[in-house]
Amino acid sequence: MVTCLGDLFYPEVGERIVRLLRRLGVAVEFPAGQTCCGLPLFNSGYHEEAATVARRTVRLFDGDTPVVVPSGSCAWMVKHEYPGLMKDAADRAAATRLAARTWELSQFLVRGLGRSRFVAAVRGRLTYHDSCHLLRGLHEAESPRVLLRALAGAELVELPNADECCGFGGSFAVRLPDVSSAILDRKLAAVEASGADCVVACDAGCLMQMRGGLGRRGSRVRALHLAEVLDVEGEPS
Amino acid sequence: MATKAEFLGRIRAEMARTPGLFTVAAAPWPARPGERLALLRRELAERWPATLERFARELERVGGVFHRVASPGEVAGLVADLARAGAMERVVAWAPGALGLDLAGPLAARGLSAVAMPEGDVAASERTRLREVAAVADLGVTGVDLAIAETGTLVVVSGAGRPRSTSLLPPCHVAVLDREALVESLEQAGLVLEAWHDGEAGPAGGASINFITGPSRTADIELTLTRGVHGPKELHAVFVEQGLARPRHG
Amino acid sequence: MSEPEVATPLRERTGHALRDPFLQQALTIATTRFIDLRREAFGDFPDGESLRDRARAIKEATLQRLDHHVERLVASVESRGGHVHYAVTAEEARAIVLDIARRSGARLAVKSKSMATEEIHLNEALATAGVTPVETDLGEYIIQLAHERPSHIIAPAIHKTRGQVAELFERELKRPAAPDPEALTAIAREELRRRFLDADLGITGANFAVAETGTVVLVTNEGNGRMVTSLPRVHVALMGVEKVIPSMSDLMVFLAVLARSATGQKLSVYTSLVSGPRRGGELEGPEEFHLVLLDNGRIAQIAGSLREALACLRCGACLNVCPVYRQIGGHAYGYTYPGPIGILLTAMLNGPRSVKDLAHASSLCGACADACPVRIDIPRMLIELRREVDERRIAPRGERAAFRALARLLVRPAWYRLTARVARVLQAPFVRGRTIRRVPFDLGEWTRTRDLPAVAPRTFQERWAALEREGR
């Protein structure tokens, strides 16, 4: 599942993931006709509409192949909210099955495939920002860090208050832009204080927010998706 | 203004809509706190030295001062020393029967002005006067009904001869306890409170029970910790090894 | 509706807070300190997690049989010689307290910090009726002198500096005051001591009420709760009806998590258990004890969508960890209860219309639910509130139309792909490299402070065919 932000804004991330998985021996399929998981609708309270979108996605991903999602929030939506949104029992059963075989990327690599040793696609010091849905929704703080710590050619430094929100929050970022930006300032100040050359996240929403803020500041620090810093040994992509 | 029946009616109307909404079912606490307490007391009797050590440690952590004397007779000397160190003169104390100790005489002998509170019912005008006495006192001496080791907490129950003000109005509070008061945890304290309510001979049956964990404090101005805002600035706990001659309860 | 609607728009209120450099600094220092203290307190408390579960379970079990526990509480209070009153609305609650004040001839009332009395705006009503209310919690005293409202549930005056407090004391108390917390505290002690001894009426809230024993429980650090419940002739405790808990053993579970969550203490300094008026033989204690049970929107939530919020202990932990609260502080929320839990409580008290904007004042990061001692799922209920705001057509028509249009787009992949292509054309004048630095209309809210990524020259879906071939 590529997710809307991944599809429209960060297609390179999707490409890297496909190549990475293939090099790990995983065959990758991409069901056509994907749009968005419906999280923006759900979070803003438009639940019937979100359910319609979700039902379509459940059908699109019918089968028994694991589904890998490059964004913690979208993975959380599928895993935690899809089943409850379905009114019809058959739909709910299908959503529950989908939820069970849906993985956020870092979790899939570490917990699904048991792979944690990669080489760095970027040089220097990395720091990691916990995205809220991955951390508190999927209770995952370890997998991304396992990957980054084991990364040959780069050094992981802990981000002070890594578990604090970046201020994105979907429509929140435009409904209360000043508050959202103030939260982002705090996050970016921590990123810059960490001395890292790049901040890694596992959520397209956080990346959009942090990249947007860093770009505007003219910062030398880059905000990258996890997939953008992982390479398989010997075969740089 | 609603009546009790109307108010409960509103609650019941809503409760009728709750089935299936809550994930947790009511799990009643085991009954017979008295029996459970008797069992607990036997266990505590064997472990008291460790309990006392933990109590002293926790008390000091919250800013209290721990003292230990061998006999009740040594308490007056200790109180007099504390008073002298803090340039304090006026002492109020619980009634001798409630405290298990008569302090007024020995303290007066040491040059302090000491008032022991009366144990029986007194007239309203006398109550007002005694409150003023407590309000201007420098130091108040009370007993302790429970001492909770886990948190360094002193539990005092109000009642005849045990005014609430003694541990509240003077800037220095000295609490005298013995091993009978010690419990290990909040959970055990809860059990004792239930047993008292359940008809076990509770202490003196006043309407106010206070858990005191350290001196009065505030951090309301710029989060700066300041002691003694309304209650005492100083808190001392005096442990009497040989025990106090108080009527036992629980 | 118990609270007046706030006239200034939320955006303006938050803007105000964000532009106040002192407030910003105070908020950062205070919330960071509280976060650290809480973390330490639970860090060396191995039973903490299971006690949080138990605390939540007790609340849920109690709410399921609330009628029984309330009846029990009433019977116990009355058997101890106390009086119980029932208030469905804030107005009724005020009338009950005023009536008690009138009958007892009270002129001066001392108060121990209580969110419930704030919620019903009792002080204004008392003053109008000729009773002077004096707040005695130091923080509350400061903001009362300043004619302000609390900005934090447990640290009401964190928005004031020592210098501001000293100036305030000099102006209002007409005495010299040095800008030193110790000296200022001593002044407050002296001023308020006289008030405690002179007051006719003591007014408190209740952190808990134990049904079994008819006991109102007050938790304070300063000792003002003890003063207020011991010295005046009459004691009135006002509490939300959801504060009832069954037994003393239950109380201990809550005490073990409450102070740790609020201030990082194992226990607050004073936990006062008050059961009715002064008993025979006692020197002090009120002649009359009144318990006012307050509904004010709570009962309707027993089976309502906000029912989890009835478990709230008012510890303030969710405020400290909330990234939004940490930026805007309590006043910007506009109602009595600030922070993420405050949005839910405001909706409970004043209906969903009152939070049509506030419901969106959260990034849904979930830090609040993590910090909550009784694990209230605040983000889920905020989403639920947003849903109600939509369903009851409180949300602006334009917004609702936009989201419905988005939904239609997302189930029609051809439209979705077309939109991407159209966006690429429209964005062209604004794109520099792969980012957009400024756009008109609503998205301008984003680009005022942040670059916006441009729709990629080729989306992932458009790249897939090539990528698929590469894999063969």
Q: Name which of C369, C391, C407 is nearest A53 (Cβ-Cβ).
A: C407
User: What sign for the dihedral angle of Cα B95, B101, B107, B108?
Assistant: positive
Can you say whether residue A30 is alpha, beta or left, with left for phi > 0 and alpha for psi between -120 and 50 degrees?
A: beta
Is B41 part of a structural domain of the chain? Answer: no
What is residue A195's three-state secondary structure?
Answer: coil
Nearest to C67 among B12, B187, B206 (CB): B12
Rounded Cα distance, C131 and A25, in Å: 80
Closest Cα of chain B to C404: distance in Å? 30
Helix (H, G, I), strand (E, B) or coil at A160: coil
Spatial separation of the C-alpha atoms in residues B162 and B98, rounded to whole Å:
6
**Domains contained in chain B, number:** 1
Query: CB-side exposure of C262: number of CA atoms within 13 Å?
Result: 25
For a pLDDT cut of 70, what percent of chain A falls above it?
98
Question: How are beta strands C435-436 and B226-227 bridged, if at all?
Answer: unpaired
Residue B17 lies in a domain: no
Q: What span, in angstroms and rounded, lies between the C-alpha atoms of B171 and C57? A: 41
Point out the residue among C86, C88, C263 whose CB comes nearest to the CB of B4.
C86
Q: The domain containing residue B107 runs over which residues?
A: 49-240
Contacts of B164 in chain C (CB under 8 A): 226, 230, 282-285
In this prediction, residue C90 carries a pLDDT of 97
CA nearest neighbour of C117 among C222, C231, C206, C6: C206
Question: What secondary structure does DSSP assign to chain B, as a single string?
Answer: -B-HHHHHHHHHHHHTT-TTT-S----PPPS-HHHHHHHHHHHHHHHHHHHHHHHHHHHHHTT-EEEEESSGGGHHHHHHHHHHHTT--EEEE--HHHHTS--HHHHHHTT-EEEEPPSS---HHHHHHHHHHHHH-SEEEEE-SEEETTTTEEEEEEETTB-SGGGTSSSEEEEEE-GGGEES-HHHHHHHHHHHHTTS--STEEEEEEEE-SS-EE-TTTT--EE-SSS-SEEEEEEETT---PPP--
Q: What is the mean pLDDT of each run of 10 residues along chain C (472 residues)?
A: 78 94 90 94 94 95 94 96 98 98 97 94 96 96 92 84 94 96 95 96 98 96 97 98 96 97 96 96 95 97 95 96 96 94 97 94 97 97 93 87 94 94 91 85 82 94 94 80
- Listed by number, the residues of chain A in 156-185 with a beta carbon closer than 8 Å to a beta carbon of chain C are 163-165, 167-184
* pLDDT number for residue C433: 86
pLDDT tens column, B29-88: 566 778 888 889 999 999 999 999 999 999 999 999 999 999 999 999 999 999 999 999
Distance between CA C3 and CA C350 in Å, rounded?
7
Cα separation, C343 vs C188, in Å, equals: 33
Q: What residue spans define the domains of chain A? A: 4-110, 116-231
Residues A182-191: what's their mean pLDDT?
97
Strand ordering across the sheet containing B205-212: B182-183, B146-148, B153-159, B205-212, C270-274, C215-220, C208-210, C244-245
Q: State how far the Cα of C122 lies from the Cα of C149, in Å rounded to an integer.
A: 13
Check whether domain A116-231 has CATH 3.40.50, yes or no: yes
Measured between alpha carbons, how far is B219 from B227 in angstroms, rounded to an integer?
A: 9
Q: Do C461 and A137 touch (CB under 8 A)?
A: no
- Contact call for B2 and C92, based on CB within 8 A: yes
What is the pLDDT at residue A233?
Answer: 66
Which pLDDT score, from 0 to 100, does residue C152 have?
83
Task: Quick: pLDDT tens for A75-131.
Answer: 999 999 999 999 999 999 999 999 999 999 999 999 999 999 999 999 999 999 999
DSSP state of A218: T
In the structure, what pLDDT confidence band is assigned to residue A237 with cuts at 50, 70 and 90? very low
Using CA atoms, how far apart are residues C298 and C450, in angstroms rounded to an integer?
A: 42
Closest CA–CA distance from residue B235 to any residue of chain C (Å)? 11
Which chains border A (3 or more CB–CB pairs < 8 Å)? C
ipTM above 0.90, yes or no: yes
pLDDT at A39: 97
Residue of C nearest to A164 (CA): C323
Say which amino acid occupies C403. Answer: F
Q: Determine the pLDDT at residue C437.
A: 87
Q: Is the pLDDT of residue A156 over 50?
A: yes
Query: What is the Cα–Cα distance from C315 to B151, expressed in whole angstroms?
Result: 19
Find the residue in C nearest to B30 (Cα). C249
Task: Give me the residues of chain B with pLDDT under 50, please.
Answer: 248-250
What does the pLDDT read at residue C2?
A: 63
Give the pLDDT score at B29: 58
Q: Does residue B15 fall inside a structural domain?
A: no
The residue whose two tokens read 């208030």 is C87
CA distance B97 to B245: 8
Chain C residues lying within 8 Å of A41, measured CB to CB = 403, 406-407, 410
Residue appearing with tokens 């405050």: C342
Which SS3 state, helix, strand or coil, does residue A37 take?
coil
Q: What are phi and psi of B132, to 5 degrees?
A: -65, -40
CA A218 to chain centre: 24
Radius of gyration over every alpha carbon of chain B, rounded to an integer in angstroms: 21
Q: Do B211 and C267 touch (CB under 8 A)?
A: yes
Nearest to C106 by CA among C135, C126, C122: C126
Whether residues C324 and A183 touch (CB distance < 8 A) is answered with yes
Q: Do C275 and B29 touch (CB under 8 A)?
A: no
pLDDT reported for residue C7: 82
**Chain A partners within 8 Å of C401 (Cβ):** none
CB neighbour burial string for C85-117, b if at least 16 within 10 angstroms, e if fewer: bbbbbbebbbebbbebbeebebebbbbbbbbbb
Sign of the CA dihedral C351, C355, C359, C362?
A: negative
Nearest to C247 by CA among C288, C211, C271: C211
Q: Which residue ranges form the domains of chain C, and what is each CATH number? A: 1-41+316-395 (no CATH), 45-296 (3.40.50.10420), 413-471 (no CATH)
Whether B196 is in a domain gets the answer yes
Q: So what's the pLDDT on residue B200?
A: 62
8 Å CB contact between C362 and C343: yes
CB of B138 less than 8 A from some CB of C: no
Nearest 5°: CA angle at A51, between A45 and A56? 145
Per-residue pLDDT at B26? 56
Residue of C269, C299, C374 to mutate when probing chain B, most B C-beta within 10 A: C269
CB contact C442 to A (< 8 Å): yes
B247 located within any domain: no
Examine residue B55 and state whether it is found in any structural domain, yes or no.
yes
Query: Over the range C138-151, which residues count as b (16 or more CB within 10 Å of their CB) and which as e?
Result: bbbbbbbbbeebbb
pLDDT of residue C440: 72
Chains touching C (3+ CB pairs < 8 Å): A, B
Give the pLDDT confidence score for residue B30 in this predicted structure.
60
Label the pairing between strands B146-148 and B217-218: unpaired
What CATH number is attached to the domain comprising B56?
3.40.50.10420
Q: Dihedral (C-alpha) C276, C280, C282, C288: value to the nearest 10 degrees?
A: 40
- The answer, yes or no, to whether A and B have at least 3 beta-carbon pairs within 8 Å is no
Closest CA to C439 of C450, A173, C406: C450
Using a 10 angstrom Cβ sphere, with 0-12 exposed, 13-18 middle and 19 or more buried, the burial of residue C432 is exposed
CA C384 to CA C372: how far, in whole Å? 18
How far is Cα A219 from Cα A148, in angstroms, rounded to an integer? 22
- Radius of gyration (C-alpha) of chain A in whole angstroms: 17
Nearest chain A residue (CA) to C32: A161
HSE-up of residue A18 (Cα within 13 Å, Cβ side): 23
DSSP state of A26: -
